[in-house]
A and B are shown apart, each in its own frame.
Chain A
Amino acid sequence: MTDTIRFVLDGKVQEAHGVDPTRTVLQYLREDLRRTGTKEGCAEGDCGACTVVVGELQGGVVVYKTINACIAFLPILDGKELITVESLSADGALHPVQQAMVDCHGSQCGFCTPGFVMSLFAHYENQADGETATVCDALAGNLCRCTGYGPILAAARRMHELPQAPLRGKMPDTITRLKKLQRTNDLALSFTCPLTGTVKRYVAPHSIESLALLVAEYKDATLVAGATDVGLWVTKQHRVLETMISLGDVRELKTITEKNGALEIGAMVTYSDAINALREWNSDIGELIRRIGSVQIRNSGTIGGNIANGSPIGDIMPAFIAAGATLTLRSGAKSREIPLEDYFIAYGKQDLRPGEFVEKVNLPPAAKNLFYRVYKLSKRFDQDISAVCGAFAFHMKDDVIIDARIAFGGMAETPKRAAACEAALTRAKWSQETVLLAASALETDFAPISDMRASAAYRLKSAKNLIMKTFLEWEGHERTRVLDMKATANA
């Protein structure tokens, strides 16, 4: 056990002692290091004012990713490089990202600005382009209430026109320093709260065997992957987590394997890591993931964690259930595989036995005759939680549906298949009439609730209409999605 973590900050190895495992990176920065450039706007990873960049050794170079410091626990920094807004102009000169923001009037009140600067900095480091769509995706997790965003988009173009700054990720010094910080043993932290006397433990095993042993031993432990959900238990619900086991260092869980079109996605694979493979599986899933959370959230949040916690509003579940995904659950050396939909028993209740953990999620190959669509309905397109998420997987023979798998999120207390709707469509000829039959069958499948995201009536009505939309798209209708639309050209 130790109480110390080490990471690189401004070119030096920084040691943090007496680490409370649920202290956030933001609290540590603002209160302990008095680096107050990084701001708290919401403490739930939704506004981006706390955005910092974390560098991780991958294949001999440092890869930089933005995260929300407000919900990231301090121990995740161990062995990594942390870059904050103060780091960028440490030598007195503004980084091109900062200079571009100044030149383009990209700040007004300035409170969100450090977060935007860090998102743009990661964009710069990753040599991404200045196209509006790309930049909007990169900035979807940063809210600005003053500018209306135009000047910030202009800065994202302008930064590439300024004299180039050296890319940090390729600097030999950084690589050397980070290599020295890599642990061969498991990180195990222990912390006693001076006020309450509570002891908190945090262990980050390196292998799946070690993880399995720990999960078996500490049956009450909280498993943490990206902490984009667990972080909020602490910052919003003010829960005390006494024992945490991090999946973050388990190599076996970080891989995606592709075999003849089938995908095996390890529980520690983040949305960012998975997006390309899943976009290839189906472009609608790629688009869905683009709209899950923000870059910051997708850089931390994992598909496995999202499934494991059984959130009724996770968007990936209906998409995967319709796709026929299965879940591999592991206990000790034993594994079992279940259909993904069977994992969700009731609200807050999953088919996860004591000592068991989610190892991976498996997606079958997309067959040639598969017609697949997934739609996410929300108040806002980016960084919002679905009111309704509907996924449709039809295996077709000409215009007959041989097999239909339909799943919805937001319609019940868990992600759920629409059995009656599927029955109405299976072996049916795909037509306007079958659409209407299938739509009315949805009333058998679901009795959604009203909440702040949508009313029950809207949920049911729009879910029905999504069946029609799927049909129209199968028929080859163009112009069915507002996101694909452009303004009327000048005559």
Chain B
Amino acid sequence: MPDASNNISVESRIKGDVREAVRHDSAEKHVAGTAIYIDDMAPPKDLLHVYIAMSTRANARITRLELGRVRSAPGVEIVLAAEDIPGKNDYSPIAGDDPVFADGEVFYIGQPLFAVAADSIEAGRAAAGLAVIEYEDRQPVVTIADARAAASVLECVEPMRLGDAQAALNNAANRISGKCNIGGQDHFYLEGQVALALPKEDGDVHVYSSTQNPTEGQHVVARVLGKQQNDVVVELRRMGGGFGGKETQPSLFAAIASLVAVKTGRPAKVCLDRDDDMIMTGKRHDFEIEYDIGFKDDGEIEGAAVTLESRCGYSADLSSAINDRAMFHADNAYFLNNAEIQSHRYRTHTVSNTAFRGFGGPQGMMAIECALDAVAFQIGADPLDVRLRNLYARPGRDMTPYGQVVEDSVARELMEELAANAQYRSRRAEIAEFNRCNKVLKKGISLTPVKFGISFTTTHLNQAGALVHVYTDGSVHLNHGGTEMGQGLMVKVAQIVAHEFQIDLGRIKISATVTDKVPNTSATAASSGSDINGMAAREAARTIKGRLASFAAEKYRCAPNEVVFRNNSVHAGEQCISFNDLVKAAYFARISLSSTGYYRTPKIHYDRAKQKGRPFFYYAYGAAVSEVVIDTLTGENRVLRVDILHDVGRPLNPAVDLGQIEGGFIQGLGWLTTEELVFDDAGALKTHAPSTYKIPTCSDRPDIMNIEIWEKGENIEESIHKSKAVGEPPLMLAISAFSALSWAVAAAGDGKAAPRLNAPATPEEILRAVDDVRRRATEV
């Protein structure tokens, strides 16, 4: 169907078209407190509150679990443990290794043991304390070092190889190696994990679950209940934040709430408090990375060997794909010439680490960015020059270690434009002068790029469905498999449908994601939300629009291609009628006004055994400059200024996209600076509430923060309206701040010894690195 509406004047545009900076669809409800989250729903009659009792041991056999006193405690309706599960005791996404309730053994502190359903959460919690539990402890494997020593491996994978890395390293003019430890990160979504299950007839269940993946929730609930998938409906209107933390984790709580509901015939709610949430649920993987780089005198990489080691926790969860993505991003935006990228995935007696915005990509990217800073330090060059020298370029310097050709690199243009706008070069000179004149405080500046692969690397997940109804008054009901976690997906997809029908955005009703409307969906993850659901919704709308056009062509006696939808009207030859009137007429003519839509991402394929293929449909790009200052006496530090230029292709909604860019950057900044997960030797998480786990506050935002969407951005692939995904890539822009901190540490050592900074760069870590660099400088 011809789409004439792209070239029309502003006056005749619909309200809320694509490319408009439309506000979030729920903004007015957010500020008024009327947006309903699951815990806000009116409690159904006879609601049971479910408390989940957790393991206090990291690696142990349960020798005694007596729940008699729990069952007879006041207010308790039912107590459920492993033996009460009618189906399979497993809530895992893939591997079958995540028990809902521990069965004889426990593998992390915080693992669910049993659930108490009571009239109040206080009664349930108090009753749970009456359980008699005895353990026979075994030595826990807590850290990556523990796991390496114990050879506690979750999964072995082939390295990615390009050319001959070892030969290139051996023959290189210069060679440098180094390592960096990178801490994990808690999602700290403001709304904790929550599920509300309503019992239905025939033992069916309807679950409201705060989840990025309602379909998986449905599958897991059916599996645990021993039922068919069509016995279970999972529904979600909005989450209070997700960030990957609600991709696989919510299945556990949906399953437990459902078990209680089905066993008791009463509605049941699981709503975790913050401490339980942080102790019980998975986080971003912490990594230890090592690099060995061979390079020419001007810093051009000849060969790179990168080793990525990660703590996966007690089970597989999504660790395979996460570590794969870390490998896929160990090149970031750079051509490595000859490369070998290894990945070691360790099993530990800690919570199973899971998806978190970037999905391993950020950790992989840190490896090469640390390496390039080391190269620049060694040759005394401006690190920006070293980065520019090594960027992917066509032809000849465009092959990734996994065999995909980089066809769309815009990193150089972005970085050069940003360096000019932010006056990177002159500020860098002034900072050097500042560092010469100041003893206590040292500054650093760095510009780093991001190239992030877009598509689920598990190819089959790249599919989406939508369902669109047009009612007889011309209003539209929109549904698709994507979920809203604050990222503005719903409004973007609605804009796409409004554009397609050429009706005002206000005519589109956004509806809850629910598994009985659009089935077999993928998680809203991998930044794919608007790419794939937007396409599916457009397909559904186009089907209906096609029927309407044929009907109009027949009715007004013109060719179907002479029917044009424009600004709430339909032009058919010489005729012009309102969209609403055409819809009504079509209804009376018995034209179907409802359609599904379906999309699968083209061109992608991957052979994991060979580690070759084209896992990504396209790449999203961005670049950031950060300026920082550190206190060499205390390690205190601040990011003073950030400039960002980010490529979102042609934006679907610039306001929403800017929000993702800024929010992603600050979240990444937290990961690399203040957010520190501390486990003790026994494997207990000691930072399980905001009093001890510090995400950025308002004042951590740099005083100066200039963020721009790259005006020249355009997706070379046929993505939805030529846009690019924006959910995850901006998080990695914060690597510029870490790099700048590293350069500030280097300045403290008077440039004689290379900095060895780990993440998160807390005051303690910065002071350690400063002292280290000074000690080594005097040794030189």
Contacts and interface: CB of A to CB of B under 8 A. Distances in A.
B36 interface: yes
Most buried by B among A88, A113, A114, A378: A113
Contact of A44 (B24, B634, B641, B690): B690
A72 to B, nearest CB: 17
B676 interface: yes
A316 B192 CA distance: 33
B691 A46 contact: yes
B663 interface: yes
Contact of B659 (A99, A133, A142, A147): A147
A452 B690 CA distance: 12
Nearest to A388: B634
Contacts of A14: none
B633 A468 contact: yes
Interface in A111-155: 111-114, 117, 132-133, 135-137, 139-140, 142-153
Interface in B752-780: 762-764, 767-768, 771
Interface in A434-491: 451-455, 458, 461-462, 465-466, 468-469, 472, 477, 479-483, 485-491
A209 to B, nearest CB: 37
Contacts of A89: 31-32
Contacts, number: 307
B662 A148 contact: yes
Given A84-B33, A145-B188, A152 B698 contact: yes
A47 B42 contact: no
A375 B763 CA distance: 14
A110 B438 CA distance: 44
B12 interface: no
Nearest to A489: B430
A461 B74 CA distance: 53
A236 B423 CA distance: 50
Contact of A462 (B429, B630, B633): B633
A379 interface: yes
B267 interface: no
Nearest to B274: A42
B640 A41 contact: no
B698 A136 contact: yes
Contact of B24 (A38, A105, A142): A105
B277 to A, nearest CB: 10
Contacts of A84: 33
Contacts of B19: none
B638 A44 contact: no
Nearest to B639: A487
A108 B698 contact: no
A140 to B, nearest CB: 5
Nearest to B635: A462
Given A102-B31, A147-B663, A148-B667, A41 B633 contact: no
B617 interface: no
Nearest to A152: B698
B771 to A, nearest CB: 7
Contacts of A380: 674, 694, 696-697, 700
A240 B296 CA distance: 69
A482 B243 CA distance: 31
Contacts of A101: 27, 30-31
B771 A491 contact: no
Contacts of B42: 34
A146 B690 contact: no
Interface in B73-117: 74-75
A378 B694 CA distance: 10
B24 A145 contact: no
Interface string A290-328: 000000000000000000000000000000000000000
A105 B25 CA distance: 11
Contact of A108 (B32, B663, B687, B705): B663
B430 A375 contact: no
A376 B615 CA distance: 49
B695 interface: yes
A36 B40 contact: yes
A139 B32 contact: no
Contacts of A133: 699
Interface string B268-294: 000001110000000000000000000
Given A143-B690, A149-B701, A482-B631, A487 B641 contact: yes
Contacts of B587: none
A481 B631 contact: yes
A86 interface: yes
Nearest to B633: A465
A85 B32 contact: yes
Interface in B245-285: 273-275
A41 B274 contact: yes
A485 B191 CA distance: 35
Contacts of A94: 28, 31-32
Contacts of B707: 150
Contacts of A167: none
B666 interface: yes
A145 B243 contact: yes
Interface in B420-466: 423, 426-427, 429-431, 434, 438-441, 443, 445
B674 A43 contact: no
A488 B434 contact: yes
A462 to B, nearest CB: 5
Interface string A380-403: 111111010000000000000000
Interface string B180-197: 000000011111100000
A489 B426 CA distance: 10
Contact of B695 (A40, A99, A145): A145
Interface string B581-602: 0000000000000000000000
A454 B304 CA distance: 35
A472 B439 CA distance: 10
Most buried by B among A387, A465, A469, A483: A465
A364 interface: no
Contacts of B239: 109
Contacts of A19: none
A196 interface: yes
A487 B426 CA distance: 13
Given A110-B238, A381-B699, 16 more contacts: A86-B33, A89-B31, A94-B28, A109-B190, A142-B697, A147-B666, A153-B698, A379-B763, A380-B697, A381-B700, A382-B700, A458-B767, A461-B771, A480-B441, A483-B636, A490-B426
9 contacts: A143-B190, A145-B189, A149-B701, A379-B763, A380-B700, A385-B691, A462-B633, A487-B640, A491-B423
Interface of B: 23-24, 26-37, 39-40, 42, 74-75, 120, 122-123, 125-126, 187-192, 238-243, 273-275, 423, 426-427, 429-431, 434, 438-441, 443, 445, 485-488, 627, 629-631, 633-638, 640-641, 655-656, 658-659, 662-667, 674, 676, 678, 686-687, 689-692, 694-705, 707, 762-764, 767-768, 771
Question: 4 nearest interchain CB pairs?
Answer: A37-B33, A109-B486, A111-B240, A110-B30
Interface of A: 30, 34-44, 46-47, 49, 84-86, 88-89, 94, 97-99, 101-103, 105-114, 117, 132-133, 135-137, 139-140, 142-153, 195-196, 236, 238, 375, 377-385, 387, 451-455, 458, 461-462, 465-466, 468-469, 472, 477, 479-483, 485-491
